[in-house]
Structure 1
Amino acid sequence: MHKTHVIAVVDDDEAMRTSLSSLLRASGYQVFCYAAPADYLDSDGPVQTDCLISDIQMPGMGGLQMLDALRARGWRMPVIFVSADQSGLLCAKFREADVVACLRKPFAADELLAWVEFAPRKSENT
């Protein structure tokens, strides 16, 4: 089974970035982490990213604004959002925005890995 090669993680929570990075690297992925959407957008990250995992709510630019900026630049990599919002309303909104998945924190490692594996196939079919 083909695995995504490069995953970008964008989250303002350092512990979450470290945890996701460790999990994904242990699963055979190359991972780049960014503390803010602007850091990611200003890097070469979008060019090389096969899948983006991002928090929805961050200081300054949030996940939707970052997604809009990516789409405006013509980048259409699969996106998986994670959210601490327990109402589920943010996740429902982002599912409508061409997002592969939206997981509410805390989520199971196996659940995230399944979505990461699925993301490139879903993206190819859209």
Structure 2
Amino acid sequence: MLPKPLIAIVEDDESLRPALVGLVRSMGYDGEGFASAEAFLEGDAASRANCLVSDFQLPGISGLDLADRLGVGLPIILVTARTEKSIEDRAKESGVLCLLRKPFEIDALAGCIRRALDS
């Protein structure tokens, strides 16, 4: 049996992070949550993950800066409540696969994860 794809979640909101991990697990994937970009980078999750879902606004390294650091090797879905067009432009420049605006539909996240795993 093949291992389940690992979806890493970087979210500083203490209630949203476990909810997102539970959601990806209910979709049939493995999920692992991190409270910050630094916590994600400290371990080996970047090399194990098949997809990263990250909040844009994080303490320390932002989700967009994290995308810049990781490059194009790991498909990244960025989530934000901010609406500035510049965020969308920078996300595209950083190679972000999907940019979701909060509140987002579960189906939108599921579609982005499927695209990430198919890429």
Letter in structure 2 aligned against 1:59: P
Where in structure 2 are there 5+ consecutive unaligned residues? Answer: none
Within-5 A mapping of 1:1-126: 5-71=5-71, 76-121=73-118, 123=119
2: distance between equivalents of 1:46 and 1:58? Answer: 17
Structure 1 distance, partners of 2:78, 2:7, is: 13
Give the counterpart letter for 1:112 in structure 2. L
- Distance, in Å, in 2 between the alignment partners of 1:8 and 1:88 is 26
Query: Scaled by the length of structure 2, what TM-score is found?
Result: 0.89
The alpha-carbon deviation at position 62 of structure 1 amounts to 0.5
Counterparts of 1:110 and 1:68 in 2: how far apart (Å)?
A: 26
Q: CA deviation at 1:88?
A: 4.3
Deviation at 1:87, TM superposition (A): 3.3
Instruction: Return 5+ residue gaps in structure 1 as ranges.
Output: none
Distance 1:88 1:23, change over 3 A: farther
Counterparts of 2:88 and 2:100, CA distance in 1:
7
CA deviations 1:45-101 (Å, max 9, x no partner) are 001000000011111110122122223xxx711000000103343133202221110
Note the aligned Cα RMSD (angstroms): 1.5
TM-superposition CA deviations, 1:31-52 (whole Å, max 9, x none): 0100000000001100100000
8 Å contact kept, 2:78–2:98: yes
SS of residue in 2 equivalent to 1:77: coil
Distance 2:68 2:5 in 1: 23
Aligned residues: 116
Tell me the TM-score normalised to structure 1 length: 0.85
